[in-house]
Amino acid sequence: MIDERGDRCPGCTKWYWYQSASHTFTDSSRTQSSSQHLHSSRMPLDTSSYTLSQLRLDGRRWNELRRIHAQISTHAAADGSSYLEMGNTKVVCTVTGPAEGRRAGGQGGGGDVLDVRVEIGLAGFSGVERRRQVRGDKRIFEMAHTITESLNRTLLTNLFPRSTLSISLHVLSQDGSLLAALINAATLACVDAGVPMKDYLVACTAGCMSAGAPPPPQVKADDDGSNDPILDLTALEEQELPFLTVATVGAEDKVAALVIESRFHAGRLDEMLAVGVDGCKRVKELVDEVMNMAPKSRASVRRAQLTRTITDAFAVKLRDLIWSRGATATPPIRLALVARPRVALHCSGGIFRLIPVPVGGCACRALAVGRLDARLKGAHWQGFGTMGSDGRAVAIEGGFT
């Protein structure tokens, strides 16, 4: 039950917005570092709501990708550049080359194929807590190596002997699927630079809800879906659930890279891989659309993406919701559909307000929706929805209690 100010955590003095009866969220990332507070970010992922509503924490179904926004040629001075957002994971990539090194003989570029070099930089402000990038971080090095190897197989390197291609990746914000976003950004930047390649190299992540148990031998009639694999994980989900990153070449099932850093039952691999490859196909379609668009509108495929994935996820809009309850109030302001992190609906003094619930450290501004008739004042509404950081878009599902 939500009262006017949200629920009060019994263990502390803080207020939480939530979706179900238990705590699912921490406070805003910006105040998180106060170590005085007991409820820190190490809360277990609450998946109990999943079985009820088939929706994950940010309102997606198990097989839905996050919003992908991609732009190429963002950097005038570089040979190729791209900017990619997968949900809240934001990556910038610049490519220089193919060019010959300025040293006689040179360390690299001495061979008869193109020498691909990848550098990854994680900004200190990219995570929820500020963390300085440590030189020689093995995980970063391994990611760079994976990208280098996959690109070596995809690009037609025999056309550029003795040259070097320098790819520089910068991570501005991390919210899960980091390696996948880096691979996608690198591909886009290479296409922008005019480096020939066999096909797009795209990647995405897949995980599974239950790690230890083997998959059931057959799908039962009352399967509540709690054993489903899930697609495109956020940072919270990656912390708790096993996941893998898969990269494919083109739209077929050719897997170029597979990275698994967690443990799970071997029987789960097949379905996770299938879900991942399917996700890659959809990422490839989106990347294709970005490349295909008219030069003047190389832009995000925001709206196209959303109409496909959101409308089937959320069947009810706020306007309809209120109308169906017999309210005579004028409908609130018009709403467009954009997918973003979760919001909670807060009713106070007759005004509905959508408060964003920070997921993985993101935050957006609240949106005042409108006034309701006095009859509904004080009504309790429970549900969830999604809202854009431009504060204008929402789709909600839920009901009055």
Q: Which of 59, 98, 279, 385 binds other proteins (CB under 8 A)?
A: 98
Pairing state between β 164-173 and 115-122: parallel
Give the nearer residue to other proteins in terms of CB position, either 27 or 46.
Answer: 27
Q: Which of 18, 160, 264, 352 binds other proteins (CB under 8 A)?
A: 160
Cα end-to-end distance, the chain, whole Å: 8
- Among residues 400, 283, 384, the alpha carbon closest in space to that of 340 is found at 384
What does the longest C-alpha to C-alpha distance in the chain come to? 82
Q: How far apart are CA 280 and CA 260, in angstroms?
A: 16
DSSP H or E stretch at residue 65: none
Q: Give the three-class secondary structure for 377.
A: coil
Give the nearer residue to other proteins in terms of CB position, either 164 or 228.
Answer: 164
Which one of the spans 40-48, 225-233, 256-264, 333-341 is the region binding other proteins (CB under 8 A)? 333-341
Give the nearer residue to other proteins in terms of CB position, either 167 or 376.
Answer: 167
Give the nearer residue to other proteins in terms of CB position, either 80 or 207.
Answer: 80
Provide the token pair at 290: 């970005």
Q: How far apart are CA 191 and CA 199, in angstroms?
A: 10
Site for other proteins in 337-376 (CB under 8 A): 337, 360-366
Q: Note whether 288 binds other proteins by CB under 8 A.
A: yes
Site for other proteins in 61-80 (CB under 8 A): 69, 71-73, 75-80
Site for other proteins in 168-207 (CB under 8 A): 168, 170, 172-173, 175, 191-200
Which one of the spans 26-34, 211-219, 240-248, 256-264 is the region binding other proteins (CB under 8 A)? 26-34
Binding mask 134-153 for other proteins (x = CB under 8 A): -x------------------
Provide the token pair at 295: 């030069």
Q: How far apart are CA 39 and CA 373, in angstroms?
A: 37
Site for other proteins (CB under 8 A): how many residues? 113
Q: Which of 39, 47, 121, 258 binds other proteins (CB under 8 A)?
A: 121
Residue 133 near residue 139 (C-beta atoms within 8 A): no
